[in-house]
Every structure is written in C-alpha cells, then in structure tokens.
Amino acid sequence: QVQLVESGGGLVQSGGSLRLSCAASRSIFRFHVMGWYRQAPGKQRELVASLTKGGIRNYVDFVKGRFTISRDAAKNTVYLQMNSLKPEDTAVYYCNVREILNSDASLDYWGQGTQVTVSS
C-alpha cells in the first residue's frame, strides 16, 4: 500500500498562486507516472498534469504556461505550482501515482484531495 498526503490548497484571488504538495509513503521512483487531477462540482475528474519516471511532463491545454509539475525525490514529494489562477480552476485537486506491476497490470493510488477555491 502507498499513502499519499496532499496539502497546499486554499482560497486565493484570481491571478494568485498556490503550490500543492503530495507526499508519498514510499520512494516516488517506484512509480511509473505521477500526476495531478481535479474535480469540480458536477463534473468528472480530469487530468491536469503528469510527470513520468523518466522526467517527461505533460499538461492539459487549459493549464499550459500556468501550472508546473515537479518532484523532490529526497522528500518523496510531487508538487503542482499553480500561477495565474482563474475562478474556473476551482476544484478538488487529487494526487495520483501509478505503479506498473507487469506488462498487463498496474496499480493506481490516490490522495484524499485538497480544495482549491479561486475567487473572482
């Protein structure tokens, strides 16, 4: 089992910044992919950004240029730096890591979520 503990959410004005943290109970290098998702009220959970074990970053279009995903292996922590926040970024943000077991199986672990609210 892997525990993920998120922190850093809160209330911020439009144009402001927040940094989310996701601390894992095991070395993050055991995970093939690490990512951040978000879920707004009445909407499905959606991918925001991902970071592979090899260091490849991917972002969805609506956060490109504003959000940055990074990691600190010494702290077993993944971060999401969010700048130029907009009211539409308001959501619960979830940390996700994927562990590849073999060619046919993988395990996904999720954090408990942290609320981000952006006021206009």
Number of Cβ within a 10 Å radius of residue 5? 14
Q: Could you give the CA distance from residue 77 to residue 58 in angstroms, rounded to a whole number?
A: 18
Q: For residue 1, what pLDDT is reported?
A: 84
Q: Which residue has the tokens 């943000």?
A: 93
Q: Is the pLDDT of residue 103 over 90?
A: no
pLDDT in tens, 33-83: 999 999 999 999 999 999 999 999 999 999 999 999 999 999 999 999 999
Q: Where are the alpha helices (DSSP H) in the chain?
A: none
Task: Give residue 60's pLDDT.
Answer: 96
Please indicate whether residue 83 or residue 103 has the higher confidence score (pLDDT).
83
Confidence category of residue 30, pLDDT binned at 50, 70, 90: confident
- 10: tokens are 């809160």
Instruction: Measure Cα distances from 113 to 7, 22, 64, 117, 120 in Å.
Output: 8, 10, 22, 13, 23
Q: State the chain's mean pLDDT as an integer.
A: 95
Q: Model confidence over 105-116: pLDDT tens digits? A: 999 999 999 999
Q: In terms of Cα–Cα distance, which of 19, 16, 24 is closest to 8?
A: 19
Six-digit token string for 76: 């077993």
